[in-house]
Amino acid sequence: MLTIKDRTGIYSEQIRSFLVSNFYVSDVKTLMNDTSLLDQGIVDSTGVLEIIGFIEETFGIIVEDSELLPENLDSIQGIEQYIIRKMN
């Protein structure tokens, strides 16, 4: 079984790969784990829906309406921590 630390690295890379493949990221090296995806213009409200679809399909979890919060979906780190919480 993977530890939380192991999962964190794996999940962040999966999330980063998805973002770079599906959204315009001008410089991948500047996309830090705590970068605000909304503030940097990487995603908009429609993009958030795409991220939700990615989370549900990739990790097999349901994103509830009450969980549609910036702290859960606005950065790689936030998405990653949200996924870990939902999978435990």
Cα(36)–Cα(62) distance, rounded to whole angstroms? Answer: 23
CATH T-level assignment (fold) for domain 31-87: 1.10.1200
Taking the C-alpha atoms of residue 74 and residue 36, their distance in angstroms, rounded to an integer, is: 5
- Say if CB 35 and CB 74 are below 8 A apart: no
**Burial letters 33-53, b for 16+ CB under 10 A, else e:** eebebeeeebbeeebbeebbe
Tokens coding 63: 């994103």
Among 21-25, 28-32, 53-57, 77-81, whose mean pLDDT is lowest? 28-32
The model's pLDDT over 54-84, given as tens digits with 9 standing for 90+, comes to: 999 999 999 999 999 999 999 999 999 999 9
